[in-house]
A and B are shown apart, each in its own frame.
Chain A
Amino acid sequence: MTANALTGIIDYGVGNLRSVQSAVERVGGIPLITSDPAQLLDCPRLILPGVGAFGHGMAELEARGLSAVVHQAVAAGTPLLGICLGMQMLTTRSFEFGDTPGLGLTAGTVTRLERSDGGERLRLPHVAWKPLRRVSGVLDWFFDGIGDDDRFYFIHSFAVQNAKVGVAALADHDGLAFAAVMTHGNVIGTQFHPEKSGPAGLKLLSNFVSKGR
């Protein structure tokens, strides 16, 4: 295994890092869980994991000086994969408990999963395995080997529902569509947990570790 398989997992005190670590290992990557800026900036690719509340996540990232590190790494061309809350934090802002700015690395804002027509209330959190509706031609290398029937594990109450650009795949909760994958340049975010989505999720991580450069 070469140093090129090194995958930095950004530790900002939020989320199940062990799962991401095991999954990266399983697909041949070398996971490095750290909050050290220098170590993170040395990694050829980075993963921003996360669960829980947006405001808390951003505050923890800031408190460790890591939002500047993420910006610096992305500006230098390092591939970055945000997972779940990590994906949401890549966007411009969230309206979960007020209005909190995000990292602004992809388009979109994060809002509660609600029908705008006032129809039947959705059961939240949305906890389900769903297939993806891909935007044709976007992130082909990332989705290599993924079939139309492959399903991915979602657990969330908020989502990006309004992005005009940068959507690579959609999924839905009871007919309400939201962004399942967002991208901009060398940045990718998945609303679902690839590390918890069985062989299909591992395939995505494998593509990210082996092709993301």
Chain B
Amino acid sequence: MVTADTKMDKQPEHGCAYCEAQSDDPHFCSGCGKIQPVRDDSDFFTFFGLPRKLVIDESALESTFYKLSRQFHPDYFMGASEPEREASMQRSSLLNDAYRTLRDRIRRVSYLLTLEGYKEAEKKAPPDLLEEVFELNMQIEELKEAKGSGDDADLAQARSALEDALAGLKEKLASIDRKLAILFQDWDRAVDSGDPAKKAVLDRISELLSHRSYINHLVNSVLEEL
């Protein structure tokens, strides 16, 4: 790894860690064919050879994942030199991390936001939801009481009230997801055209993600009680 690093410093673009060749392929040297150590600057999109866009063909992503897995996996480097084995391990783990992130649209967009300099989305209640949250807390308390008292009729009533509230929350999540889908397309179009308004799209997405995260948290606490 040490020799690999020094060589990379001299040829930061696509110089091979082992021979003198220059290569377009970020993963393998086109000269000697050896697997290359992971460069610090590789992000998940470029690793997969994808533009920083949000609408992704999932089956094409899977095909690329399988193809690259077959090229990188440590299983196929058992007899290779120590630096190559290390590179295979690093490249495989980066591939797995990248695939895990990109195949899930929420993880994908959260990752894009970090790349674009946003902080991790914190749970934030949508302003129109505050009243419902108070109501929900009361309903959860009622269910707890009903569970304690052992009154079947009370319990059934409290449960069904909470189930209705849950259905409402799920509908809100679905609505956010629909909005996100449209914003994903807006972002992709803005990337293509170089539209300076693309920053506003990300602001909007970031806000929706905070709401989504908050509602998800509510859904989970309701599910725990039910």
B partners with A: no
Interface residues of B (CB under 8 A from A): none
Interface residues of A (CB under 8 A from B): none
